[in-house]
Amino acid sequence: MTLDATDKLFAGSIPQIYERYLVPLIFRPYAEDLARRVADRRARRVLEIAAGTGVVTRALDAALPREVEVVATDLNPAMLEEAKSAGTQRAVEWKPADAIALPFADGEFDLVVCQFGVMFFPDKARAFAEARRVLSAGGFFVFNVWDRIEENEFTDAVTTALAGVFPDGPPRFLARTPHGYHDAPAIRRDLAQGGFRAAPEIVTLTETSRAASPRVPAVAFCQGTPLRNEIEARGASRLEEATSAAEQAIARRFGTGAVQGRIQAHVVTVAA
């Protein structure tokens, strides 16, 4: 299996660990920010792409008026199943879908939203063109992407630690994919190639990631993301070794009790 394939593979116990550890660690504050931005646009029908385990879906559920329709999609059925199990107050339409080939009619939505998903799209301009296609005239596309890994302290510490565990082939998933699409000119170029003529607004938001112990971010990243696939490809028995190395690195840098580190992302808003 290629790196491109394993980078998008959220299977086995990854969805459950992702939801339990990673969502509160890094995703929740940005989900609430996106939900506020969506609510300000007063959309009637909203499409979420790359919904994952539903942290943004639940934030939208809380922020939007009851009459707003929400459709949540993801490429990975296992992630959607985890999202559905958490539940929402409103009747969300859950649908497996590939962002580069959305199964919806032209102009079907007033707003498309995506949290930390576009980095995984193999053809970003094509995915942006699909988002543009399903938007009605005057609609908006709102998404966020992680800033470079050096601005995100826990992921940087984990990646550095694993380079020591696997010196002959360091696992680079976190730097390569989640933190691999942070360049504003590239984002603007891809949006233009996808048919968005308006200039996007790009703002940078810094938040604080908090955990009860160094073990939490170590498990979150090593076992609750596709980084796990890279680690286990080097030996299934080495997952705990890698997790422990990450835990120790975080403890050395941030302390052995409750820990906190900087996280940073770009939020992009563009009109159709």
The full DSSP string for 149-180 is GGGSHHHHHHHHHHHHH-TTS---HHHHTTTS
Q: Residue 1 above 50 pLDDT?
A: no
- What is the tally of structural domains in the chain? 1
> Can you tell me the mean pLDDT for 109-128?
97
| pLDDT confidence band for 91 (50 / 70 / 90) | very high
Containing structural domain, residue 131: 3-271
* 204 pLDDT higher than 90: yes
**What is the Cα–Cα distance from 270 to 201, expressed in whole angstroms?**
6
pLDDT (average), residues 89-94? 96
CA atoms within 13 A on the CB side of 228: 20
Residue 35: pLDDT band (50, 70, 90) is very high
pTM above 0.85, yes or no: yes
pLDDT at 11: 62
The stretch 213-241 carries a mean pLDDT of 95
pLDDT at 9: 65
Residue 189, both tokens = 């170029």
Contact between residue 47 and residue 134 where contact means Cβ atoms under 8 Å apart = yes
Look at residue 117 and give its three-state secondary structure.
Answer: coil
Distant-in-sequence, close-in-space partners of 220: CB < 8 Å, separation ≥ 6? 17, 18, 21, 22, 25, 26, 211
Q: What is the pLDDT of residue 52?
A: 95
pLDDT by residue (tens digit) across 123-176? 999 999 999 999 999 999 999 999 999 999 999 999 999 999 999 999 999 999
Does the structure show a pLDDT above 50 at 88?
Answer: yes
CATH classification at residue 245: 3.40.50.150
259-271/201-211 β-pairing: antiparallel
Q: Is the pLDDT of residue 5 over 80?
A: no
pLDDT band, residue 14 (cuts 50/70/90): confident
* Angle (deg, nearest 10), helices 153-165 and 239-254: 130
Percentage of the chain lying above the pLDDT 90 cut:
93
**What's the average model confidence in pLDDT over 36-54?**
96
List alpha helices for 18-176, DSSP H: 28-40, 55-63, 77-86, 124-134, 153-165, 173-176
pLDDT at position 209 over 60: yes
Per-residue confidence (pLDDT) for residue 222, from 0 to 100: 97
Helix (H) or strand (E) holding 186: helix 184-193
Return mean pLDDT, the chain: 95
Q: What is the pLDDT of residue 4?
A: 59
